[in-house]
Amino acid sequence: MSGEGRHARHVAIIMDGNGRWAKRKHLPRAMGHRRGVEAVRELVRSLKDTRIECLTLYAFSSENWKRPEDEVDDLMNLMRRFIKSDLPEFIANDVKLHILGDWQGLAPDIVAMLEDALEKTSHGSRTLAVALNYGSHAEIAQAARKAAEEGEVTEESIERHLYSAPLPPLDLLIRTSGEIRLSNFLLWQAAYAEMLFVDVLWPDFTPDHLKHALADFAERERRFGGR
């Protein structure tokens, strides 16, 4: 059976390539991250023109703390500016913020900003889920621990305790920059998701690229283990 006409409710993106984008343009890595934030902003604004109910973005992994201190500081400052500048736009466009990961482990002022953003966007009809201080192995381990505390450990009891529990099932996972790996991102959720690896570096990823990815998804036949 053809997948024509099928639409993705939940799309996740591994936003890869900021550093290489900056290097190719002989710019500091920080400029790549800043342009990457602009790409996020443009993509979120374009969601109203799609049928996507949830967009999940891999913003900062638990492994990213191993990067040079000045780069981590720049990423945290970018996060502060993005939350402050874009929160009114999220509210105006009915976008609900959801966080995946151990975000309470971030700097106290960022935690406070995120708590405020979560509260103020809680009634949005379309979700932007952001993975912050996130690692899929840790997510599955903590979900299994909580399931064990409640009783029998089953697939269903683990899923109830994943960070993504309130979100629709993952339909499509995209990674930019040409790398072909998941990098500890949504390993449980991606079990039967369609995947698309594109050569475009994240700062150059546009709403048109997303549009083409959604069209590609619509043509696929999803089997879920069947024929």
pTM of the model: 0.94
Mean local confidence (pLDDT), 194-209: 98
Residues annotated catalytic, as ranges: 16, 64
pLDDT given for residue 144 in this prediction = 98
pLDDT given for residue 115 in this prediction = 97
Burial 100-136 (b: 16+ CB within 10 A, else e): bbbbeebeeebeebbeebeeebeebebbbbbbbbbbb
Taking only the tens place, the pLDDT of each residue in 166-180 is 999 999 999 999 999
Taking only the tens place, the pLDDT of each residue in 22-68 is 999 999 999 999 999 999 999 999 999 999 999 999 999 999 999 99
pLDDT at 1 over 50: no
In order of their start, the domains of the chain are: 26-135+164-218 (3.40.1180.10)
